[in-house]
Amino acid sequence: MTKTLQKTTALSTKNGKKSPTDKNLSARAAAAQIILQVLDHGKSLSALLPEIQPRMKPQDLPLLQEICFGVCRVLPRLEWIIRLLVDKPLKGKTRIVHCLLLVGLYQILYTRIPPHAAINEAVNAARQLKSDNFRGLLNGVLRRFLRERESVLATVDKHWQTNHPEWLVNKLKKTYPNWRDIIDANNQKPPMWLRVNRNHSSAENYRQRLAENGITAFPAENPHALRLESPVSVSQLPHFAEGWATVQDVHAQWSAILLEPQNGELILDACAAPGGKTTHILEQAPQAKVVALDVEENRLKRITENLARLNQQAVVICGDATRPETWLPQAAQQITGNKSAVKFDRILLDAPCSATGVIRRHPDIKWLRREQDIAPLVEIQHQILTALWQTLKPNGILLYATCSVLPDENGRQIARFLAEHSDAQLEPLPFPAPQAIGHQFLPAENGGDGFYYAKLRKIA
Ligand SMILES: C[S@@+](CC[C@H](N)C(=O)[O-])C[C@H]1O[C@@H](n2cnc3c(N)ncnc32)[C@H](O)[C@@H]1O
């Protein structure tokens, strides 16, 4: 820390102004509120952004999204800058001012917004957020950062910043010799991937249609996947509303391919919401009878909407995968007309997990997930696996998937299951460089997210 970096003291404040309606809320004010909810109240961006979006001006949404995701991506670096510049931590009611500083610094460092505009907007947002008394502090800190940028960054960037929580870095270090590459990949912005519905078009034909609409896309090894050069709104995608394409990461697309669903089979998608993989199963095998199960009732609507867009049918059920006896009779009733027990030919278990493989897509995971969450997740995965195994037909297939990179949730989970179930056999997967148990994709490998797959057969 150089001597020139004098610290600015946070002033105390009294709130004065009425809060504006959300329609008048600027992108910066909304971003500060959302970041506060993530950091201090453990809420996810994917829950918060859709809530606020209908109440914002449409033209403000891209910037709101950019700031919220961006701040989560580089949070420790921004926090360090604030520690250097602000004497007294902004706590309690003044946390919103701290979040406005994050928002202002992010724009100065990571966007093309002219710094003076970023500062003015942060100061204006303070008024909207009933923090008038802090306008001077915001203005002073951000302007000082501009003046002393070089020396501040020399201090902050003296050592490599992981921008990850320490517990996660330690876990990655223990498992992966190339852990730094994983961290770097997690800190990138992810590409947008499409899955082309082969019932409407080949990936190549769709790529040409995209090109005719000014959208550049690249093919992948996976036959249905296209990577877009730059993300676009789905409303720009040809025939999106009619189900010609679905937004889905390239590695997530392996789920339905590895499951190999067949027409006429009875298939369970056990943790199905929002239904991205349910619809892929039905694209692959339109005549399969698919049960889409999820424990979160409010997430079932998303499955139904996705099925409707693709003009597909499935039995959508709310239920706990650890307790098949509570929902299996209802599923049987809807499929066969009577409640007697049914067994599945194939099961996709896209298990609830730490989501440590999709950090680049959901950077808030780094601050929402805690080390102590992992063991309970591993236990629930084991319970679901064990319970669903009883519902699988002899010779049936269970595909276990997670978007985690932690071995406890992946290879070790399956090793434990194999040790406990003599009727379970590991099936080979069609990837080069076979791994010991299942297959781990790392984040950004082939441009895809971090995913794990293991395919199990029930020996007859
Ligand atoms: C990784 S997400 C599934 C994503 C989905 N397969 C897709 O591709 O769109 C995991 C899902 O598991 C659900 N879930 C968690 N615990 C569950 C349980 N005990 N039984 C059924 N579903 C559960 C969550 O509600 C969540 O929707």
Instruction: Please write the tens of the pLDDT for every residue from 213-260.
Output: 999 999 998 899 999 999 999 999 999 999 999 999 999 999 999 999
Query: What are the Cα distances from residue 447, in Å, to 13, 189, 199, 216, 245?
Result: 48, 11, 25, 16, 19
- Tell me, what's the pLDDT at 3? 34
Q: How far apart are CA 259 and CA 285, in angstroms?
A: 11
- Examine the pLDDT at 60 and tell me if it is beyond 70: yes
238: domain CATH number?
A: 3.30.70.1170
Whether ligand 1 lies within 6 angstroms of the CB of 299 is answered as: yes
Alpha carbon distance, N-terminus to C-terminus of the chain? 68
Strands 392-402 and 344-350 come out as: parallel
Q: How far apart are CA 323 and CA 388, in angstroms?
A: 8
Q: How far apart are CA 283 and CA 246, in angstroms?
A: 11
438: domain CATH number?
A: 3.40.50.150
Residues 302, 417 within the same domain: yes
77: domain CATH number?
A: 1.10.940.10
Residues 213, 84 within the same domain: no
Assign 355 to helix, strand or coil: coil
What's the mean pLDDT in 397-409? 98
pLDDT band for position 137 (50/70/90)? Answer: very high
Residues 256-279 pLDDT 10s: 999 999 999 999 999 999 999 999
In a domain, 49, yes or no: yes
Whether ligand 1 lies within 6 angstroms of the CB of 276 is answered as: yes
In a domain, 70, yes or no: yes
In a domain, 17, yes or no: no
- Name the residue with the closest Cα to ligand 1, atom 27: 273
Whether ligand 1 lies within 6 angstroms of the CB of 256 is answered as: no
Scan for tokens 């250097």, then name that residue: 84
Q: Report CA(30)–ligand 1 centroid distance (Å).
A: 29
Whether ligand 1 lies within 6 angstroms of the CB of 79 is answered as: no
Q: CA-CA-CA-CA torsion for 25, 31, 34, 36, nearest 10 degrees?
A: -110
Q: Report CA(278)–ligand 1 centroid distance (Å).
A: 12
Instruction: Confirm whether residue 294 is marked as ligand binding.
Output: yes
In a domain, 176, yes or no: no
- Tell me, what's the pLDDT at 23? 63
Q: Report CA(127)–ligand 1 centroid distance (Å).
A: 41
Instruction: Confirm whether residue 277 is marked as ligand binding.
Output: yes
Q: Which of 27, 55, 26, 49 is nearest to 37 (CA)?
A: 49
State which ligand 1 atom lies nearest to the alpha carbon of 353.
1
Q: Report CA(319)–ligand 1 centroid distance (Å).
A: 10
pLDDT band for position 22 (50/70/90)? Answer: low
Strands 193-196 and 245-247 come out as: antiparallel
- Tell me, what's the pLDDT at 113? 97
- Identify the active-site residue in 68, 72, 99, 403: 403
In a domain, 323, yes or no: yes
Assign 193 to helix, strand or coil: strand
Whether ligand 1 lies within 6 angstroms of the CB of 271 is answered as: yes
- Examine the pLDDT at 4 and tell me if it is beyond 60: no
Scan for tokens 């093309």, then name that residue: 112
Instruction: Confirm whether residue 203 is marked as ligand binding.
Output: no
Q: Which residues contact 399 (CB under 8 A, 6 or more apart)?
A: 255, 258, 259, 346, 347, 348, 349, 453, 454, 455, 456
Instruction: Confirm whether residue 320 is marked as ligand binding.
Output: yes
Q: Which of 94, 127, 156 is the last residue of a domain?
A: 156
- Tell me, what's the pLDDT at 202? 96
Scan for tokens 């600015």, then name that residue: 8
Q: Annotated catalytic, 68? A: no
State which ligand 1 atom lies nearest to the alpha carbon of 255.
8
Q: How far apart are CA 440 and CA 433, in angstroms?
A: 11
Q: What percent of the chain has pLDDT over 90?
A: 88
Residues 293, 360 within the same domain: yes
- Examine the pLDDT at 160 and tell me if it is beyond 90: no
Instruction: Look at the chain and report how many structural domains it folds into.
Output: 3
Count of C-beta atoms within a 10 Å radius of residue 5: 14
C-alpha radius of gyration, the chain, whole number? 24
Residues 231, 269 within the same domain: no
Q: Report CA(272)–ligand 1 centroid distance (Å).
A: 5
Whether ligand 1 lies within 6 angstroms of the CB of 274 is answered as: yes
Q: Which of 230, 175, 119, 132 is nearest to 356 (CA)?
A: 175
Residues 421-441 pLDDT 10s: 999 999 999 998 878 899 999
Query: How would DSSP label each residue in 134-176?
Result: GHHHHHHHHHHHHHHHHHHHHHHTTS----S-HHHHHHHHHH-
Residues 104, 203 within the same domain: no
DSSP H helices, 187-265, are: 203-212, 254-259
Residues 335, 446 within the same domain: yes
Q: Which of 106, 141, 156 is the last residue of a domain?
A: 156
Q: How far apart are CA 315 and CA 266, in angstroms?
A: 11
Whether ligand 1 lies within 6 angstroms of the CB of 70 is answered as: no
Query: How would DSSP label each residue in 212-239?
Result: HTT--EEE-SSTTEEEESS---GGGSTT
Instruction: Confirm whether residue 99 is marked as ligand binding.
Output: no
How big, in percent rounded to 5, are the helix, strand and coil portions of the chain? 50, 15, 40
In a domain, 2, yes or no: no
Q: How far apart are CA 410 and CA 366, in angstroms?
A: 19
Residues 216, 279 within the same domain: no
Residues 231, 304 within the same domain: no
Pocket test for ligand 1, best of 257, 271, 283, 402 (most atoms within 8 A of CB): 271
State which ligand 1 atom lies nearest to the alpha carbon of 302.
9
Partners of 452 in beta bridges: 402, 440
Strands 451-458 and 439-441 come out as: antiparallel
- The whole domain housing 127 covers 22-156
Whether ligand 1 lies within 6 angstroms of the CB of 295 is answered as: yes
In a domain, 188, yes or no: no
| Average pLDDT in the chain | 93
Residues 75-103 pLDDT 10s: 999 999 999 999 999 999 899 999 999 99
Cβ 172 vs Cβ 408: under 8 Å: no
- Tell me, what's the pLDDT at 2? 35
Residues 137, 199 within the same domain: no
- Examine the pLDDT at 15 and tell me if it is beyond 80: no
pTM recorded for the entire structure: 0.93
What's the mean pLDDT in 121-133? 94
Pocket test for ligand 1, best of 257, 280, 294 (most atoms within 8 A of CB): 294
Dihedral angle sign, alpha carbons of residues 334, 335, 341, 347: negative
Q: Which of 107, 137, 156 is the last residue of a domain?
A: 156
Residues 304, 403 within the same domain: yes
Residues 130, 234 within the same domain: no
- Tell me, what's the pLDDT at 5? 37
Whether ligand 1 lies within 6 angstroms of the CB of 358 is answered as: no
Residues 222, 311 within the same domain: no
DSSP H helices, 187-321, are: 203-212, 254-259, 276-284, 297-309
In a domain, 57, yes or no: yes
Residue 266 token pair: 């009875």
Cβ 275 vs Cβ 303: under 8 Å: yes
- Name the residue with the closest Cα to ligand 1, atom 1: 352
Q: How far apart are CA 9 and CA 327, in angstroms?
A: 59
Whether ligand 1 lies within 6 angstroms of the CB of 277 is answered as: yes
State which ligand 1 atom lies nearest to the alpha carbon of 383.
19
